[in-house]
Amino acid sequence: MRTQTYVIFCSNQLRGILILIMSSPPQSRPPWRYPRAHLDGTNPIVLRFSNGQHIGANLQVISVAGGLLSLPKSVDQGSRVRLMFLTEGGFVYGGAEMLPPVSDRLQPFRFTSLPADDQRRVGALIGERSQNKSELAWMEKLRAASAQHNEPAFWRFKLAGVIGLLAVGLAIAAYLLHFGLLK
């Protein structure tokens, strides 16, 4: 979508409208997804509730932002739990919020607290499970290039200002020439 700015100048000899086409205000960059690992087989995880109850589940997908669990039955959306699971790098213990279930047994969660050491363990798990690490590097490079491409072009605004001042100057000069004040 483009917006148009009109600069209007008038004189008896020159009448016209100068149309400057400027891009619309910068759009916010769409959120990108964290790298994730789709886990095969059995990956046990324990959910502990604030009342002390706990249930076992199977971890299907993991990222540093959250994941997807296979549960015996879904948990109430918005429930705050502590998640505990074991990786090759060690134990991961973090706080999470349960999101709306996608089926009667699959339910996503988002981490609300995950200590730095545990973030590194999850990142290592994702890196181990990544089929193509060069693909992740390529995606990061593409995201960086996209972020640079989406930056607003301020030079267009400066150019519009210069052209506007030039138009006003020409209009004043034409006015002064018309009345013979400028020889």
CATH of residue 44's domain is: 2.40.10.220
Is 8 part of a structural domain of the chain? no
Q: What's the mean pLDDT when you consider all of the chain? A: 77
Are the C-beta atoms of 84 and 95 separated by less than 8 Å? no
Is 11 part of a structural domain of the chain? no
pLDDT at 109: 95
Q: Which residue has the higher pLDDT, 33 or 68?
A: 68
Give the global pTM: 0.54
Q: Would the pLDDT of 2 be above 60?
A: no
Is 97 part of a structural domain of the chain? yes
d(CA 154, CA 34): 30
Is 147 part of a structural domain of the chain? no
* Counted domains in the chain: 1
Is 172 part of a structural domain of the chain? no
Q: Would the pLDDT of 154 be above 60?
A: yes
- 3-class DSSP state of 30: coil
Is 177 part of a structural domain of the chain? no
C-alpha neighbours within 13 Å on the C-beta side of residue 160: 15
Q: Give residue 30's pLDDT band: very low, low, confident or very high (50, 70, 90).
A: very low
pLDDT at 127: 77
| Structural domain boundaries, residue 98 | 36-122
Q: What is the dihedral of CA 126, 132, 138, 142, to 10 degrees?
A: -60
